[in-house]
């Protein structure tokens, strides 16, 4: 790792990482030995990891390695069905040729050693020197060079493409083939064909944090995306404007398909996390990739999602496509005792997810003034609602409210305030999780019932809010003064005057929660730390009421008034 990648520690000598010093890699390897002592042997001098019980049919040892910080690659891939040895360097630094030589000598089998090397200069040189030393000692050696990174496919470059995510599929296929007793030449040829049939591309919204330092290795704006990053934290050739996730994925897939001609055997897809992307995100990306490929007539025979090649804690993912040849799918499905993925038949979820790319989430889908007005208001204040909820919750309230309104919009055309209330009621009760969604559905149910029973106006709204307050108390046990949505409901229910007065009273009730110590809900865990900002749920109630009042009395603009108050 170069000096310019290592920011200074702060005055207290701390960093963002929970890593002991000075030799963090050795400490991590010692921990690996404690976890997997029955299946691997860890040697610290020189550092390498060996499989203790490889398949007895193996005639050739598989050895790979590279810089640390990419876990589980490569140490996690050691074991039956995977590598015979892995050689870890320091963070983002090639292992020394002495390590590679020692690991390969210890793992070598009668049929020789196959080195799997990612195309980085340090790795190529050190594995190459180790290969020469082994040959001089009489050991048969072949090398498979993985160079799958599409972002570094530069015409005329002597260095060539980087080795990235395809390494996982290469090592899985080779591990399974080695367990069948394949020869050195057979394995080398197989590995090279898998590499040639594979390309990868990675994107990121945040750089990794360098051990020993604080903050990201490079800065990106909130609307920026690095398109084509490397697994050592290298920046892409270009920084692009961040687009919705589906558009980002579609662009990646389109670029990969230009270089991966998929035949009748189909392809394998690997969505790999770069360290900070969640499983939730990676599986959503995988679904989008498979749906995109299906729409282009490209069959997917194997699909994987997970963090296999991290770039420390980089916030991003890579997609690898491998055009399969006959027999490769069976090798991908072979069992392994390692962290390598095992292919299962590609499935399909019942129903269809809504990612907004079919227009189903567009504002105005219902044509209902209440729903479309609320949708516009929530979109405008989404960030403010998120910030409020972070004080006393987990920051998801803005997303939950927006999700409910989008679900209401998808319910189709509906005329009139009551119809809009019914659509929103159903959406929040049935489609939004957590506690806030169903509670909002309950509130909307009571307000809708009051409006159906009489002429929509101030009296109906007061009655609906009073009944809603009672329902919320029965379900959740909250009382006025507990700093919840109930404080806005009660304030509105007790307000005299016209419709606008009821809404403003509810908004004042929401603002009053800023002085309250929370006694209910998730905010109760932070206690007095929540004082100073209003409860997000109470603010959300006032926003719903403002959109409702503007739909009943179109000449008003309570939505704009409250947006100015909290925006």
DSSP string, 360-416: TT-TTSS--HHHHHHHHHHHHHHHHHHHHHHHHS-S-HHHHHHHHHHHHHTT----S
Contact 306, 165 (CB under 8 A): no
What residues are paired with 322 via a beta bridge? 198, 268
Token readout for 491 is 């304030």
Q: Enter the DSSP assignment of 515.
A: G
99, 66, 80: which is closest to 342 by C-alpha?
A: 80
Q: How many CA atoms lie within 13 A of 56 on its CB side?
A: 0
Token readout for 283 is 């599986």
d(CA 62, CA 38): 19
Residue 283 falls in the annotated catalytic set: no
Using alpha carbons only, how large is the chain's radius of gyration in Å? 29
Nearest-5° Cα angle at 177, 300 to 319: 35
Alpha-carbon separation of residue 468 from 132, 279, 463, 476, 509 (angstroms)? 79, 37, 9, 12, 15
Contact 105, 85 (CB under 8 A): no
d(CA 258, CA 276): 28
Catalytic residue among 208, 232, 354, 382: 232
Alpha-carbon separation of residue 122 from 67, 90, 110, 118, 129 (angstroms)? 10, 12, 28, 10, 11
Which phi and psi (to 5°) does residue 305 adopt? -145, 135
Beta strands (DSSP E) in 386-531 are: none
Catalytic (active-site) positions: 232
């Amino acid at each position: 790792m170069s000096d310019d990648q290592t920011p200074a520690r702060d005055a207290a000598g701390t960093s963002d990482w929970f890593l002991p010093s000075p030799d963090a890699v050795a400490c991590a390897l010692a921990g690996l030995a404690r976890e997997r002592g029955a299946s691997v042997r860890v040697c610290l001098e020189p550092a390498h990891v060996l499989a203790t019980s490889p398949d007895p049919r193996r005639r050739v040892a598989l050895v790979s390695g590279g810089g640390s910080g990419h876990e589980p690659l490569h140490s996690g891939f050691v074991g039956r069905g995977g590598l015979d040895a892995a050689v870890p360097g320091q963070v983002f630094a090639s292992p020394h040729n002495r390590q590679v030589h020692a690991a390969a000598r210890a793992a070598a089998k009668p049929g020789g050693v196959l080195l799997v090397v990612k195309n980085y200069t340090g790795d190529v040189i050190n594995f190459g020197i180790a290969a020469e030393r082994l040959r001089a000692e009489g050991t048969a050696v072949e090398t498979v060079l993985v160079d799958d990174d599409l972002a570094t496919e530069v015409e005329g470059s002597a260095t060539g493409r980087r080795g990235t995510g395809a390494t996982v599929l290469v090592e899985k296929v080779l591990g399974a083939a080695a367990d069948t007793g394949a020869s050195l030449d057979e394995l080398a040829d197989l590995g090279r064909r898998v590499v040639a049939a594979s390309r990868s591309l990675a994107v990121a919204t945040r750089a990794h944090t360098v051990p020993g330092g604080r903050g990201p290795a490079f800065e990106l704006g909130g609307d920026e995306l690095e398109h084509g990053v490397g697994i050592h934290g290298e920046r892409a050739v270009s920084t692009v404007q961040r687009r919705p996730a589906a558009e980002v994925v579609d662009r990646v897939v389109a670029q990969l398909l230009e270089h991966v001609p998929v035949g009748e055997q189909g392809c394998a897809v690997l969505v790999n996390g770069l360290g900070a992307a969640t499983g939730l995100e990676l599986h959503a990306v995988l679904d989008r990739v498979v749906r995109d490929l299906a729409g282009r007539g490209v069959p997917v025979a194997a699909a994987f999602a997970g963090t296999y090649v991290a770039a420390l804690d980089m916030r991003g993912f890579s997609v690898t496509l491998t055009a399969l040849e006959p027999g490769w799918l069976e090798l991908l499905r072979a069992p392994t005792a390692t962290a390598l993925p095992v292919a299962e038949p590609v499935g399909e979820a019942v129903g269809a997810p809504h990612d907004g790319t079919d227009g189903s989430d567009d504002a105005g889908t219902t044509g209902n003034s209440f729903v479309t007005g609320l949708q516009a208001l929530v979109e405008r204040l989404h960030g403010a609602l998120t910030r409020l909820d972070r004080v006393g919750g987990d920051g998801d309230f803005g997303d939950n409210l927006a999700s409910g309104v989008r679900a209401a919009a998808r319910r189709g055309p509906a005329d009139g305030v009551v119809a809009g209330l019914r659509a929103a009621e159903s959406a929040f009760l049935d489609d939004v999780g957590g506690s806030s969604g169903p509670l909002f559905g309950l509130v909307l149910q009571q307000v809708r019932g009051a409006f159906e029973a009489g002429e929509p106006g101030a009296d109906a709204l007061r009655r609906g809010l009073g009944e809603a307050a009672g329902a919320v108390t029965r379900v959740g046990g909250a009382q006025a003064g507990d700093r919840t949505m109930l404080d806005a409901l009660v304030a509105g229910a007790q307000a005299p005057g016209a419709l606008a007065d009821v809404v403003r009273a509810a908004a004042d009730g929401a603002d009053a929660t800023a002085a309250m110590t929370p006694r209910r809900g998730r905010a109760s865990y932070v206690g007095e730390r929540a004082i100073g900002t209003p409860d997000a749920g109470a603010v959300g109630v006032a926003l719903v009421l403002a959109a409702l009042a503007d739909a009943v009395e179109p000449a008003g603009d309570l939505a704009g008034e409250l947006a100015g108050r909290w925006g």
